Each structure stands twice: as structure tokens, then as C-alpha cells.
Structure 1
Amino acid sequence: MELIQTIEQWAWIGWLVLILVFLVIEMLTLDFTFLMLSIGGLAGLGADLLGAPIWLQVIIAAAAGAALVLFLRPPLLRRLRRGEDATPSNVDRLIGLSGTVVSTVGMHSGQVKLANGDVWTARADSHQSADSVELEPGTRVLVSRIDGATAIVRTPEPLAPQAPEEPRL
């Protein structure tokens, strides 16, 4: 019984440590989850200072943290990311970029010069038909994906022939 009384007497220190740990983790992750949990810990500390038993402190802290994570965190994240630039960057911006074959591109090797001026090691896209496995120098290609430091390329889809328009009267 003396152990429980000691824990209840010094619980405020446990709450402060928990709040500080959650705040440090939040500074490392920056995704508002541990900030909400630290505010829940603050609610538990408040309950301790008001004289609530330890089991009620834990319930209050857990309920407050869960409510904040579920109801306050999503709108905060939306507001934070509202001004985010949606332009693809790094490797993502290369997908769909056109280029020209510099040295023969097959299923295992080759090189292409992309429209942005970069020369990449390239392989032919295995999803394309078997008749275009070897792409000769000068062939126009599109980047379909990036695999490590290799561009996976394919020839542009030929435009479907259009039916001649009927004369209008």
C-alpha cells in the first residue's frame, strides 16, 4: 500500500517527464501526434494537481490525447499543408519526361539524353511489346519509371489514326 501512495505522491514528476519526452519526439517527427499526446499528458498532470487518483489521471490523459489526435490533428495537418507545392521534385519529376537514345537501349543496358539535358543509364521497359526491345540511337523515348540510377524508357505511343471527318452540309 505504501508503494501506491509513493507513486501517487510523485506522479506529477512522471507526468512532467512524459510530457517532455513526447515534446522531444514531436520535435524530431514534426507530425503533431506526439504534441497531442503531450497535451494529453498535461491533462493528466492537471488531474494529479487537482487530487485525482492515479487510475483517473491515466484515463483523463489517454482520453484527452486520443481526442486531440482524432479531432484536432487532421485539421492542423490540412492547414499546415495547404500552401505546399504540389510540383513533383527529384526523381518524380523525371517520370514522363521525353528523351533521345544515345547508345542502343535494350533490356539490360543503354543510355538516353533526357529533355532536361541529363544523360542517364537506361533500360527498355519490359511491359512494352517484344518488337521494341532494342531502341536504336536517335529514337525518341519517354521515361516510364526510375529504378535506382537507371531510367526505364519506352517509345511514345503512336497516335491512333483518326477517321476522316464527314463533310458538313
Structure 2
Amino acid sequence: MGWLWWLGVALVLGVIEMLTVDLLFLMLAGGATAAAISGAMGAPFWLQLIIAAVVSVGLLVLVRPWALAKLKANTPQARTNVDAHRGRIATVVSDVSDRAGRVKLTGEVWTARTEAPGAVLPVGARVSVVRIEGATAIVEPLPVETNPSQPYGPPGPGY
């Protein structure tokens, strides 16, 4: 009946592994499962402990590094915090120059400036975020898309 305790330990370690996803507790659960199997086959408790320890260490040393490498290679890297804003599109809400300005980025108003000296981006212009420095977005203008049927732009008011 002692093998049921090992099985319970393996299940608890499996649940902890699901919360951490570090593959450490999964290897320990493998050792507990091996001990449960040996206990079900009639091995004495001291032998079950040795089997649990040997299998756990073996899994930690031999399997975990390979499994972590596979996990990291197949997991996409999510950009977070400041890195997540790089490349996003913002709208100018106050003229942006190389000294000051404001843009609306992901629903929030940020202070902004351009890298090009003397460049001024007017209100309403769409810009791309190059990087974030502190609480300031460094932006650049988006390339203007032209319509080949209207090479000089859309007709103005009163047309």
C-alpha cells in the first residue's frame, strides 16, 4: 500500500510542475513514479527511497538539459515592457520635433521626439516607434503611401 503514497507524491509534483514549467518537479515526479512501481512490485521501503533518488538524479542530469533546450527552442519569445513598443504605430497628438512632442501609443499619450534634427511631425501624422528612452518614445515618420492614380495626392476641399 506504500506505493500509493509514492503515486500521490508524483501527482503533487506533477501539479507543481504545471505551475512552474521548469521541468525540475517533473523529473522528481519521475523518480517518485519509479519508486511507486518498485513498491507495487514488493520492494522494501529503503530500496524504494534509493530508486526514487537514483531515477530523479538521473533524469535531472541526463534528460532535463535536453528537454529544456527543446522547450526553449519551440517556445516563441514574447516581447514585453519597453521592447513590446518597438515598431508599433503611434499617432502624433502634439507636434513632435527633435526636442519635444506627444504621441498616442496603444491608447496612452507618451512624450515623444524624433532623432532627425530639425524634423517636425505634424498633429495627426502616423509614426513608428524606434525605441523608448525612459518615458519618451523616439519616433520616425512612416513612409507615405501614394496612390498611382493620384500622383499629387487626393483632391482638396471644394473639388
TM-score, L = length of structure 1: 0.52
CA RMSD, 1 decimal? 4.2
| Residues 91/22 of structure 1: CA separation in 2 closer, same or farther (3 Å cut) | same
Q: Percent identity?
A: 35
Residue of structure 2 aligned with 1:62, choices 53, 61, 65? 53
| Residues 155/92 of structure 1: CA separation in 2 closer, same or farther (3 Å cut) | closer
Are 2:36 and 2:48, in contact at CA under 8 Å, matched by a contact in 1? yes
Post-superposition offset of 1:47: 3.7
- Asked if 1:122 corresponds to 2:122, the answer is no
Secondary structure of residue in 2 paired with 1:51: coil
Post-superposition offset of 1:104: 5.9
The CA distance in 2 between the partners of 1:87 and 1:19, in whole Å, is 31
| Residues 145/63 of structure 1: CA separation in 2 closer, same or farther (3 Å cut) | farther
The CA distance in 2 between the partners of 1:119 and 1:40, in whole Å, is 50
What is aligned with 1:152?
136
Any unmatched runs of 5+ in structure 2?
141-159
Are 2:95 and 2:121, in contact at CA under 8 Å, matched by a contact in 1? yes
TM-score, L = length of structure 2: 0.54
Are 2:87 and 2:128, in contact at CA under 8 Å, matched by a contact in 1? no
Are 1:40 and 1:61, in contact at CA under 8 Å, matched by a contact in 2? yes
| Residues 146/155 of structure 1: CA separation in 2 closer, same or farther (3 Å cut) | closer
The CA distance in 2 between the partners of 1:35 and 1:57, in whole Å, is 18
Task: Map 1:30-49 to 2 at 5 A.
Answer: 30-48=21-39, 49=41
What is aligned with 2:152?
none
Are 1:112 and 1:122, in contact at CA under 8 Å, matched by a contact in 2? yes
Post-superposition offset of 1:110: 6.3
The CA distance in 2 between the partners of 1:145 and 1:154, in whole Å, is 6
